[in-house]
Each structure stands twice: as C-alpha cells, then as structure tokens.
Structure 1
Amino acid sequence: MSNHAVFYLISDDMPVVSHTNGIYIRDTKGRRRIDTNSGAITCNIERDHPTVNAA
C-alpha cells in the first residue's frame, strides 16, 4: 500500500467490499473499515425528491 494521502485513488490494490454491517465495511481480505462517505452523500441527496422516495 502506498504512503500517499490519497492511496485509494492511485492504488492498484483497491479494496473490494464483501459485506457491510452498520457503519462498518468488510473487504474480501477480512479488513474492517468505517464508512466515512455515506453521510456526505446522504446530505447531498435532495430531501423529499419523488425519485428518492420511490426507491
């Protein structure tokens, strides 16, 4: 793994999600990570949009 601050953007060894549980994401190598991205994405989804509500 690279020491670069944005290693996940330049790494050839990208993690592959195996499963999730709450705030945790497990990759196929068994490493557990905290999901730190979904909150920002959720805040950017238009509130009460018909397409979002239908999903």
Structure 2
Amino acid sequence: MIIWINGAFGSGKTHTAYELHRRFPNSFVYDPENMGFFIRDNIPKNMQKNDFQDYPIWRE
C-alpha cells in the first residue's frame, strides 16, 4: 500500500507521514524532498535555480 500525502507548505505532511510510520509496522517514509536536495547540490552553479521543483528532472 502507498499512502500519498499532498498539501500546502507547512501543513503538517511530514509530521503526518512520520505519525503513520510510527503506527504501521514495517512501513517507511519516502520524502522526495531529499532527492530535490540532491539535485540542487549536484547541479553546476551556473545552472542552479531557486527551487529544485523548477528543474525538469524533478518532474520525472
């Protein structure tokens, strides 16, 4: 089962995900923001954008 949590910035998505994780044995939390941070940190300086969601690869 995959539970996809969507919502506005600061609405408690991460907190909710970790609360569900605590209650469901053998579950895990996948936070796509971690991939965004990786993309941002590994793009050449002259190609960097303010928000990693603006990179085309983020959408793939």
What TM-score results when the alignment is normalised by the length of structure 2? 0.32
The structure with the greater share of residues assigned to strand is: 1
Larger radius of gyration: 1
The structure with the greater share of residues assigned to helix is: 2
What TM-score results when the alignment is normalised by the length of structure 1? 0.34
